[in-house]
Amino acid sequence: MEFLSINPYTGERLAVLSAHEDRHIERALERAADMARIWREGGFAPRAAMLRAVARLLRERLGAYAALMAQEMGKPVREARAEVLKCAWGCEFYAEHAEGWLADEPVPSDAADSRVVYEPLGTILGIMPWNFPFWQVIRAAAPILMAGNTFLLKHASNVPQCALALEALFRDAGAPEGVFQTLLVGAERVPALIEDARVRGVTLTGSEAAGRRVAAIAGGALKPVVMELGGSDAFLVLEDADLEVTLDQAVRARFQNGGQSCIAAKRFIVHASLAEAFSDGLAQRIAALRFGDPLSEETDLGPLARADLRDEVIGQVQASLREGASLRLGGTIIPGTYAGMYATLLTDVTPGMTAFDQEIFGPVASITLAQDDMHALTLANASRFGLGGSVWTRDVVRGEGLARGLECGVAFVNGMVKSDPRLPFGGIKASGLGRELGVQGLRAFTNIKTLWIG
């Protein structure tokens, strides 16, 4: 098997890499398991020193890593730089806070001394997506490593150069052999990796379908999982929202990273009294987005990561139009590009349409009208997904009430949904289970052990 690295803007073949052979995989598993026994006993200081070194190298290599992401998956280089810097922040954050968050917790009981202790599990397999090829990996690996586990990365097949660059990053930062390793393997090798006794847990960010397959395998092997899957986040615009601020954030919330984000605002649920103003304002802002070469500083919107993914999104737009949605702008392929499509706005979208019911992983915004707050909340929750959601209003008390009613794992008031190392991140329903980030994510792959001393 070969892994192709293709520039999604030009279609140029950047690299061809061979999949790792069985003996390489076996050695990696052995190294990870052997190092797990050592890494857990070394304490927090060497783990923190390693992550701080990773953060330093991320900043030193900012331009190179941003260019790699721009070329390999089409992320605009300005956004790629922000991603690298966020990775550095995440590493430094866990280097600083992990020891305190994993400290023993005394609990009064009938014992002379009873407490909860957090112990590492061993080797954790990370199955990661292409859309944030550095951040998705770092946000999983940093807390896992600080908890005393080792990490095996199975990255998306279309970003193999990013996958190998991450392994080299940790090696250059002084990570001992076996702490962080990349496996260039296809999806067909994943079941055996999950079932291997040396792998003690699995973290996945990916599609709903992939999550269901991995959860079934991990469940059969009785191994813990954390899964962040698809999303169809609602963006609720109440009639008292600051329209200009809301529109500025709306275009960013939907079209950042080419709309290829699980927490992108995919369904704009707008009070009917604002229908015309919001639709006009959003259309103007979408039309102003500059499509182009991801390596250009002027580019706002790059191509989708692969041509087949672009074609899938085009198909979802066309299906929505057949079902009764209206096309305000966009909706077609950009000629002369390998995987480009015009930023798209759909109106008159209602439940039952593809744009409402499915996750559209690309530059497509849809507007659905609501008559009042309860109607807006009902529409927002009429989804099998439950990752994030936001409410936009000048009345923050009203906004908080609606945010509390959203069936999702991450709810924001007057802010676009984002991940933050300080706060737990994840979804419910078909958007996954478990939590990354925050203290909850740090403890996700630990043995939460009761220690009772009489």
In CATH, what number is assigned to the domain containing residue 12?
3.40.605.10
Residues 224 and 244 in one domain: no
Residue 10 lies in a domain: yes
Residues 363 and 248 in one domain: yes
- Domain with residue 404: its CATH number is 3.40.309.10
> Residue 117, SS3?
strand
Query: Which pLDDT does position 226 carry in this prediction?
Result: 98
* Total number of domains constituting the chain: 2
Q: Does one domain contain both 309 and 444?
A: no
- Residue 367 falls within a domain, yes or no? yes
Nearest Cα to 124, choosing from 27, 33, 30?
33
Residues 366, 296, single domain; the answer is yes
228 is catalytic: yes
Q: Would you state the structure tokens that stand for residue 83, as one six-digit string?
A: 């991603």
d(C-alpha 149, C-alpha 145), whole Å = 5
In a domain, 287, yes or no: yes
Which helix (H) or strand (E) element contains residue 248? helix 243-255
Q: Which domain holds residue 443?
A: 2-229+431-453
Catalytic residue (one of 92, 262, 408, 436): 262
88 and 163, same domain (yes or no): yes
Are residues 436 and 328 both part of a single domain?
Answer: no
The tens digit of pLDDT for each residue in 22-59 reads 999 999 999 999 999 999 999 999 999 999 999 999 99
Same domain, 243 and 375: yes
Q: How many CA atoms lie within 13 A of 446 on its CB side?
A: 26
Handedness of CA 403, 406, 410, 412 (dihedral sign): negative
Angle between helices 373-381 and 396-405 (to 10 degrees): 30
Taking the chain (454 residues) in runs of 10, the rounded mean pLDDT of each run is 96 98 98 98 98 98 98 98 98 98 98 98 98 98 98 98 98 98 98 98 97 98 98 98 98 98 98 98 98 98 98 98 98 96 98 98 98 98 98 98 98 98 98 98 98 98
- Asked whether residue 372 is assigned to any structural domain, the reply reads yes
Residue 21 and residue 116 in one domain? yes
- Find the catalytic residue in 79, 92, 208, 228: 228
Nearest to 8 by CA among 343, 313, 309, 364: 309
pLDDT at position 232: 98
Are residues 209 and 251 located together in one domain of the fold?
no
Instruction: Answer whether residue 400 is part of any domain.
Output: yes
Task: Evaluate whether residue 29 is within a structural domain.
Answer: yes
The alpha-carbon radius of gyration of the chain (Å, integer) is 22
CA–CA gap between residue 7 and residue 2 (Å, rounded): 16
Q: 242 and 163 in one domain?
A: no
pLDDT of residue 194: 98
**Domain assignment present for 444:** yes
Same domain, 146 and 246: no
Q: Are residues 199 and 249 in the same domain?
A: no
What are the two backbone dihedrals, phi and then psi, of residue 76, each rounded to the nearest 5 degrees?
-55, 140
| pLDDT for residue 248 | 98
Return the pLDDT at 284.
98
What does the block give as tokens for 348? 């008159």
Question: Looking at the domain assignment, is residue 426 inside a domain?
Answer: no
